[in-house]
Amino acid sequence: MAARLQGKVALVTGTSQGIGRAVARLFAAEGAKLILNDLRDSPQAEVLLAELGEDKAMFVAADIADEAAVRDMAARGAARFGPIDVLVNNAGMNVFAEPLAMTAAQWQRCFAVDLEGAQHCSRAVLPGMLAGGGGSIVNIASVHGHRIVPNAFPYPVAKHALIGLTKALGIQYAARNVRVNSISPGLILSERVVEWLAGLPPEEASRQVELLPCKRIGTPEEVAYTALFLATDEARFINATDILIDGGRSQLYHE
């Protein structure tokens, strides 16, 4: 590895599986010290921490919807490893409901995690980034922030808003060397997607693959490499933008 994040400290949320775990592994391999996060302690979190080593990583269980808990997590991470240079807002949740049948609790929880959680984490790290002369925030949005799928409400509403948050924060702090960008993954082979595909009839699972122009599903590592690029100085002139990682699927007109 080229140690592209040597000397950097990164906070990555939602690291127990999928994209978050892939980001954490890649960032650690590239020299970063890691503050790992998930909603609660889990065997997966313990395994990842043991893999990366406690000299390079620490784990903090925290609900990112709780701003006080997020501030405490960021403070503990900075106290352990130093000022946070990179934030990857990966933690999120799917809430798919029919709009008239959706409960107020479903709406509130979706936005509390998928939008406000990213805002809480950003507010926690921005003062240190600004004081230190810069930093990079990468928000994991979704192809749902670009294209609407029926029966997926209110998830795409929150992801559209997350992309808006990305652009607004990126412009707000551009002159102070803080870049804020987002990544919008399409169908990615996370654990949840693997489980979902396994529950489909074989012909429908095959159709999901055939819908993709490249005829394969993306991997968490492919998203992680884009997050790595955005986190480094290689992307120093990229700000307030969103990168789609969906194999070209969202460009198709037909189903």
Distance CA 147, CA 237 (A): 27
Report whether 57 contacts 24 (CB < 8 A). Answer: yes
Among this protein's residues, is 173 annotated catalytic?
A: no
Other beta carbons within 10 angstroms of residue 218's beta carbon come to 21
H helix or E strand, kind and range, residue 61 = strand 57-61
Per DSSP, 13 falls in state S
Q: Beta strand 178-185 with 242-245: parallel, antiparallel or unpaired? A: parallel
E strands, 70-170, are 86-89, 96-97, 135-140, 153-154
How many angstroms separate the first and last alpha carbons of the chain? 40
Task: Report the DSSP beta bridge partners of residue 138.
Answer: 88, 181
Catalytic residue among 155, 173, 225, 253: 155
Comparing CA positions, the residue from 67, 29, 70 lying closest to residue 48 is: 29
Other beta carbons within 10 angstroms of residue 22's beta carbon come to 23
**Enzyme catalytic residues:** 155
